[in-house]
Amino acid sequence: MDTVVAVAAASTSTGRRWLAWARRQAAAYLAAAGGGDDGWAACAVSVVRIVVCFVSMMVTTAAWAVVMLLLLPWPCERIRQGNLYGHVTGRMLMWILGNPIKLEGLENLKTRGIFLCNHASPLDIFLVMWLAPTGTVGIAKKEIIWYPLFGQLYVLANHLRIDRSNPAAAIESMKEVARAVTKNNLSLILFPEGTRSKTGRLLPFKKGFVHTALQTKLPIVPMVVTGTHLAWRKNSLRVRPAPLTVKVLPPIRTDDWQEERIDEYVEMVHSLYVDNLPDSQKPLESQTTRKKMS
């Protein structure tokens, strides 16, 4: 019942928020098209693809929302349906956009785990939706419920939300996430940077994924995504045909991890990403350190 009330309350303000979002996107497109170096023809093709993506996503979102409402008494089934929605919608959106995609190490997704993904573009979310195994839940800030249609479906799909208003609330939210994952035999998908990189370069990792691993004992499965920051740049509606790569690294056991070594584990996983990213996406400080050592 709480889910229904939350979704209903969110829906009342969807119209106003959607109008504001549309205005921001229109302004971003005009700025990108007016100052871009790709020409009007390329921009026109790109915006058509994005419009087709948006309409297609609204259709699948509306269809699955009906399914979720019918499955309200069965939360675990809603999670599986949410994953199916992601597999269909994520793959469809990437097909419409047309970027060449290279997938490596998909066999490493055939296990329960805490899946991590670096984040530099909306395309990362589409890829994660597509590739996340069935039985995987995501974590988002609690305000996601206000996102038109998608936010309400996120809640109906029984994905998890955290309160990031202050550190104490965030820690308690992550503990609740760990309990839910363990109780329901689920996997988890996280963006360990905690926000989207504006330049495509890897940001420092938050400690939340290590705390969750300590409580659930699930292995860490890094998903290294490259090229998405070049395909869809910040504040632009021009999607370029840049090649993308998703490399899933072997699972990292955490059943023997110790709480006093949290910083060490964060640095270890971060270093794995640095080693597997191209120079254009490595943190600048890592390149400076490498030059000093050479």
- pLDDT tens per residue across span 86-130: 999 999 999 999 999 999 999 999 999 999 999 999 999 999 999
Task: Please give the span between the terminal C-alpha atoms of the chain, in angstroms, as a whole number.
Answer: 61
> Please, what's the largest Cα pairwise distance for the chain?
61
188, with CB counted inside 10 A (0-12, 13-18, 19+), is buried
Report residue 90 as tokens. 């994520």
Position of tokens 């056991």? Answer: 253
pLDDT average, residue stretch 165-169: 74
Of residues 164 and 20, which shows the higher confidence score? 164
Q: How confident is the model at residue 18 (pLDDT cuts 50, 70, 90)?
A: low
User: What pLDDT score does 38 carry?
Assistant: 58
pLDDT of residue 30 exceeding 80: no
Q: Is the dihedral of CA 165, 86, 17, 75 positive or negative?
A: negative
Count CB atoms within 10 A of the CB of residue 238: 20
Return the sign of the alpha-carbon dihedral for residues 107, 112, 114, 119: positive
CA distance linking residue 178 with residue 172, whole number of Å: 10
Least confident of 10-14, 177-181, 234-238, 259-263: 10-14
Q: How large a percentage of the chain has pLDDT more than 90?
A: 60
Mean pLDDT across 215-224: 97
Decide: helix, strand or coil at residue 117.
strand
Taking 3-state DSSP, the helix, strand and coil percentages for the chain, each rounded to the nearest 5, stand at 60, 10, 30
DSSP class of 29: H
- What residues pair up with 114 in beta bridges, in sequence order? 188, 220
**Distance from C-alpha of 163 to C-alpha of 252, rounded to nearest angstrom:** 28
